[in-house]
Amino acid sequence: MPAKKCDFPEGALRIRFQPGTRNYRQRNPMKIIHSIREMQAEADRMRANGLRIGFVPTMGFLHEGHLSLIREAGRRADRVVVSIFVNPTQFGPNEDFAAYPRDFERDRKLSEAEGADVIFSPAAEEMYPAGHCTHVDVDGLTETLCGASRPGHFRGVTTVVTKLFTAVKPHVAVFGQKDAQQAAVIRRMTADLNLDVEIVVAPIVREADGLAMSSRNVYLSPSEREDATVLRQSLLAAEDLFRKGERDASVLIRSVRSMISSKPSARVDYVSLADPGTLQPIDEARSGALLAVAVFIGKTRLIDNLILP
């Protein structure tokens, strides 16, 4: 007999089952906060009540990849805060800041359905008021891979994440492995600045055909969408070579480049085999190395990666 669906009235107090260490917790109606000071006050109240805060920073237009991060935060914390903020400082002058997809009402519904307690959605003027002139830089890790292709991008990322951390005051923050370089940079920044935040990196979530989920996938035409599957296919082909004993990084990289270049809409930005800690290129493939790609499919730049087994 199928389970009966229970509908809760708007604003009702709910009990949410927790698949992690906690069996359940009471959940009040989700709050939407736009002010940094209000977010800090809410975080202070949570902490004063002994609640552990989980945080998922996003730029909105949520997909299953984001939702998996919200669920992971829920397993690790008593309260979950999701930020929705399209950060202008991590976009270059010719990138897609203005066109980046936005749908706040859809994001609100999805976040609430996944158990988020707070959406923090500040305006750009709130995050970067007039006279703002302080930035956070992480040397070394930000100069390779996407950092080489997108100058200034990681300065924007590390600055906004630091500001979000000071607003949300989380105990744990969850990021996705798809943005492997970003995750490594945030780990390094958090350690170097003695920020009291646990950084968790969750696995890549993929479409049925293997394409890594991304808000930018909506830019792809049907033919480009089909071509885009070559990112995952090329990585798996290189992984297969490694499993069969190939250790020359240049051979693995050539294999990936060759497969990607066979697609008419594809243009390689980079293919790299790197140390996962330093993100510096390595000549000899080894277990745990990061194989990462960035590819333009038409005008859309997509990234993907895997860790060699």
Alpha-carbon span 186 to 183, nearest angstrom? 5
Backbone region of residue 43 per phi and psi (left: phi > 0; alpha: psi in -120 to 50; beta: other values): alpha
Which of 34, 63, 66, 153 is catalytic? The answer is 66
Residue 153 designated active-site: no
Measured distance between the N- and C-terminal CA atoms of the chain, rounded to whole angstroms: 43
Give the gyration radius of the chain's Cα atoms: 20
Residues with active-site annotation: 66
